[in-house]
Amino acid sequence: MARLIATWFGVGYLPKAPGTWGSLAALFLGVPILMQPRGAALLLTGSLIVFAVGIWAARTYAQSIGVKDPKEVVVDEVAGQWLALIAASAYDPLTLVLAFALFRVFDILKPWPISVLDRRLPGGLGIMADDMAAGALAALALYGVRHVLA
């Protein structure tokens, strides 16, 4: 069960860029959620649930294979991408693309304070927390962009 959740039901095994595949899977699942009444609140709740379960799944799976942060673990991208999506509009493709792109940029580059979380937090919490921070920064940046363009 931990492997299934950690790899987001096998998405993490897709070739070349598992983190990007995980983010895309989260985007395609997240947009219909965002379209619901109170969609942003539902995504926030879902992100927090995936974060909590992901800590256990990522830790358990990583320990089972003896790798600190396995590349195929993408549950962290799902939680972080959903957090980034709360600032998007389900009916505005530009904001959806920006939520995706901003999250990937922050997740890959890991600017401060994301880099601190990535280096200092152990186990499943360390695997998950940096992506949640990337999602939060992406959401803040997207809110900023939307207010400037409004």
Q: What are 30-45's pLDDT values in tens digits?
A: 999 999 999 999 999 9
pLDDT number for residue 62: 98
Confidence of residue 149 (pLDDT cuts 50, 70, 90): confident
Output the CA–CA distances (angstroms, integers) from residue 140 to 49, 81, 83, in the order listed: 21, 13, 10
pTM, full prediction: 0.96
Kindly state the tokens that stand for 55: 């800590």
Residue 123, CA distances (Å) to 15, 73, 88 in order: 24, 12, 31
User: Residues 107-128: pLDDT tens digits?
Assistant: 999 999 999 999 999 999 999 9
